[in-house]
Structure formats: structure tokens, C-alpha cells
């Protein structure tokens, strides 16, 4: 990785390596953005020579210690999820196993992921009690009015009261986290997600526009706008006879999509794939022209970046941090309402003849490479004024996960 040499020089001037414990209820074999984020971040840190251990709860028969790619050690602790892949809050019952893992693996830093993860909150609390450095990454946006959000915000205030650093994936997410938790903005870093462009490449042969394929890959839950899809898909199919949909993902709202397909007799135009393993996401994406994201709330949405890297034009709801992800000529934004989503789909279909998937992929790849030339010297200049732990945490994650977008996303195509 292009940042490896820089990290090695800056972080390990005395030859020391770090031992990091990643903690979250969400990890493989479950599929999702948080799971992928933890896995790829861990792999990058391993390549830099650091020791990384992951702690999550048991998934089915997967319990105990497992080793995955490049020797990444995963503790599937014998706790079973009780709601949305979250373990039952116990407050102190997790302390013995958290302490055992930290002491056994000689951990220096505990890094928790996702505000909705019970295991994350408890591990951060126990690690801070033991005097270890702790970092928290927030991957989602939450409100302030409903009962669930009020409860979660109170938990967040308690958990983050004494953390060392917090990381958010967009400016919108940072503002949301600061307001919800009361943490000092100086402790919060905005580190956008990134995609491995080598894994998400366009189809070598450009698809014909005689039949336009719109791809949806998402968890079929309320927060991801599955109910919105139920209203948008039939209307788009009615207005555009040459359009068909491929829907990948699973969840409680899949039944509604199946019922919609039966009601409007769209079996030949709406293909339901079910859960799609991350390794097969590219093969699904390159079979389409347009990527549709209907989320009702989103801190970043890495799926949009994956689709753009595969050369797809994106139609998305204008929510959360989504407007920060791509420039205007690569995404069509709409309000989370059926009528506006249909209008955005029509605009995207009209734009398709001018979209070159290879150029879109090159732009994403070029921006990633350019980051090492424009961003690294800027941070290198600021290092002497930074606290030591800030160097060890924020600087690493900034370069591993992504590139600050205000440097990069507005580059014209002529720069390629």
C-alpha cells in the first residue's frame, strides 16, 4: 500500500509496533459496510507490521478463536445476538473476557466500531477503566427525537465521556456525533471511507443501452429505504419499458418487494438475488448501468463508491453524508420521496449515453493515487505539533481508509 512506508517512518521511529483490538458486534460472516470496513482496515494495519485482533460475538456454530486472511486473529466470544445482531447488554459480565483478551494479546489500543454495537460500548468502557487508549468509529447517523435515538444518545454520552479519539466517516456524521455525545470536536476526526479500486473494475466490454439495468444492493430494511423501492420500481418500469432491475440483499422488507413484484407482474423485470457475498458484489454491479441507493439515513454509503469504481452512474437519496461522496457529474441526488426518485432515475437514464465506465473508474483510481502526493506532505508538515497518540491513531486511519475529499473530488476529467 502506498502509505506503508510513510506510516512505518512516522509511527515506528523507535522500531515499535502497535497491538490493536477491533471490537464490534458486526463482523464476518455477517455482510455489511461496518464488517468490510473492520476487515480491510485490519488487513492494512497487518501489512504495516502491526498486530491486530478482532473481537465479536459468536455467529451460529462459529465460536472461539479463528484465523482469517494474513493471520488476522478473531475472537468469536460465546455470546449470542438477541436483536439485529447485537448482544444483550450486560454492562459488567463482559469484563472478564475483555480483560483476558487485552492481557493475553498485550493490546495497546482498543478500537470500537458502530454506535449500535453493545459489545463495542462495553469493551470501550472496560478498556478505559483499565487505563488503555481507546478509539471509537461511528458509522451511522441517528436522530434526537424518537425513543430509540434518545436512549442511544445517552449511552453514547456515557461511553465516549473519556475516550481518546473518535472517528467519523463524513462531515455530516462528525457533526451528528458531536451533538449526540457531547464530545469535544477537537477529539473527532473526519476520515472518509475508501474502496479498493483494484477489486471493483468495470466490465471490459461496454454494455449496450438497448436494455438498461438498474442495480440495487442493500440490506432490505426500513433504514435503507426498502419501502421506498416498493413504490419507485413499479413506476420506473411503467415509464421505461426497456428498464429492468436487479435487487441484491436480504432482510425483513424482502417480503414487501416480492409482493410488489407479484402485484405488478414484474417477475421478468425485477430479479431478486437474495444476500450477495462481498466477493460477488462486483460481478453483480458490472451487469448494470445505474446503481440505485434509496437509504433514508446514511453517514457515507461505501456501496456508492464501489458502484462508481465499477463505472455505474449512481442515483441516490440526498441524505446524511451521501452528497460528500461523489461529484455532481457522477451521481444524481433526489429527496427520499417516490416522485423525486423517479425523476432522478429519468435524469440518470438520459445521462447514460455520455457516461464512460472506464473513465469513471480511472477518476476514482487517480484520486486515490494523487492523495499520496497532495495529502501526505500536508500532514507531514503538521506532525511536530501533534500529540503522540494523535499521530498513532488519526494519521494511520486517514491514509488507510481514504483521502480527504475536499482535496480530490472536484478534479476535472482533463486532469486524468
Average pLDDT over residues 137-152: 84
Percentage of residues in the chain with pLDDT exceeding 70?
84
Nearest in space to 292 (alpha carbons), one of 353, 213, 379, 239: 213
HSE-up (13 A, CA, CB side) for residue 123: 33
Mean pLDDT of the chain: 83
Three-state SS for 350? helix
pLDDT over 70 at 173, yes or no: yes
**Better-scored residue on pLDDT, 376 or 360:** 360
Q: Where in the chain is the domain with CATH 3.40.50.2000?
A: 19-190, 197-368
Please state the CATH superfamily assignment of the domain spanning residues 19-190 in this structure: Glycogen Phosphorylase B; (3.40.50.2000)
CATH of domain 197-368: 3.40.50.2000
Q: Please count the other Cβ atoms lying within 10 Å of the Cβ belonging to residue 193.
A: 23
Q: In this model, does residue 402 exceed pLDDT 60?
A: no
Residue among 153, 276, 136, 302 nearest 219 (CA): 276
My answer on whether omega of the bond before 369 falls inside 30° of 0, hence cis, is no
Q: How confident is the model at residue 395 (pLDDT cuts 50, 70, 90)?
A: very low
> What integer pLDDT is reported at residue 397 of this predicted model?
31
Whole-number Å distance between alpha carbons of 381 and 378: 5
Residue-wise burial string across 123-162, b where 16 or more C-beta atoms lie within 10 A, e elsewhere: bbbbbbeeebbbbbbbbbbbeeeeeeeeebbeebeebbee
Name the DSSP letter for residue 191: -
At residue 139, does pLDDT exceed 70?
yes
**C-alpha distances in angstroms, 385 versus 39, 380, 388?**
31, 10, 9
At residue 138, the 3 state secondary structure works out as strand
Amino acid at each position: 500500500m502506498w502509505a506503508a512506508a510513510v506510516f512505518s517512518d512516522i509511527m515506528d521511529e523507535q522500531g515499535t509496533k502497535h497491538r490493536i483490538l477491533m471490537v464490534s458486534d458486526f463482523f464476518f460472516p455477517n455482510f455489511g459496510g461496518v464488517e468490510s470496513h473492520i476487515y480491510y482496515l485490519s488487513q492494512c494495519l497487518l501489512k504495516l507490521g502491526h498486530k491486530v485482533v478482532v473481537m465479536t460475538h459468536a455467529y451460529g456454530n462459529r465460536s472461539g478463536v479463528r484465523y482469517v486472511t494474513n493471520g488476522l486473529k478473531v475472537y468469536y466470544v460465546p455470546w449470542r445476538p438477541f436483536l439485529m445482531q447485537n448482544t444483550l447488554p450486560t454492562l459488567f459480565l463482559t469484563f472478564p473476557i475483555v480483560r483476558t483478551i487485552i492481557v493475553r494479546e498485550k493490546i495497546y489500543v482498543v478500537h470500537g466500531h458502530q454506535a449500535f454495537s453493545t459489545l463495542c460500548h462495553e469493551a470501550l468502557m472496560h478498556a478505559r477503566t483499565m487505563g488503555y487508549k481507546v478509539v471509537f468509529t461511528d458509522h451511522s447517523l441517528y436522530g434526537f427525537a424518537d425513543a430509540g435515538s434518545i436512549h442511544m444518545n445517552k449511552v453514547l454520552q456515557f461511553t465516549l465521556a473519556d475516550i481518546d479519539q473518535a472517528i467519523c466517516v463524513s462531515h455530516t456524521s462528525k457533526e451528528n456525533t458531536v451533538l449526540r455525545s457531547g464530545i469535544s470536536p477537537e477529539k473527532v476526526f473526519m476520515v472518509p471511507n475508501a474502496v479498493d479500486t483494484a477489486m471493483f473494475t468495470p466490465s471490459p466490454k461496454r454494455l449496450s443501452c438497448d436494455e438498461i439495468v438498474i442495480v440495487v444492493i442493500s440490506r432490505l430494511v426500513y433504514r435503507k429505504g426498502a419501502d421506498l423501492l416498493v413504490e419507485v420500481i413499479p413506476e420506473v418500469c411503467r415509464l421505461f419499458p426497456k428498464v429492468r432491475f436487479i435487487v441484491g440483499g436480504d432482510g425483513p422488507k424482502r417480503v414487501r418487494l416480492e409482493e410488489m413484484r407479484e402485484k405488478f407482474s414484474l417477475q421478468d423485470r425485477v430479479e431478486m438475488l437474495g444476500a450477495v457475498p462481498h466477493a460477488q458484489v462486483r460481478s453483480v454491479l458490472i451487469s448494470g448501468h445505474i446503481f440505485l441507493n434509496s437509504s433514508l439515513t446514511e453517514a457515507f454509503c461505501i456501496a456508492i463508491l464501489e458502484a462508481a469504481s465499477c463505472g455505474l452512474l449512481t442515483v441516490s437519496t440526498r441524505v446524511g453524508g451521501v452528497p460528500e461522496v461523489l461529484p455532481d457529474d457522477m451521481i444524481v441526488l433526489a429527496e427520499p420521496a417516490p416522485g423525486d426518485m423517479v425523476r432522478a432515475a429519468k435524469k440518470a437514464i438520459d445521462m447514460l449515453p455520455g457516461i464512460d465506465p472506464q473513465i469513471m473508474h480511472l477518476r476514482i483510481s487517480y484520486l486515490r493515487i494523487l492523495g499520496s502526493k497532495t495529502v501526505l506532505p500536508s500532514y507531514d508538515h503538521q506532525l511536530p505539533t501533534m500529540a503522540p497518540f494523535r499521530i498513532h491513531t488519526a494519521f494511520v486511519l486517514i491514509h488507510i481508509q481514504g483521502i480527504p475529499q475536499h482535496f480530490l473530488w472536484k478534479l476535472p476529467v482533463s486532469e486524468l
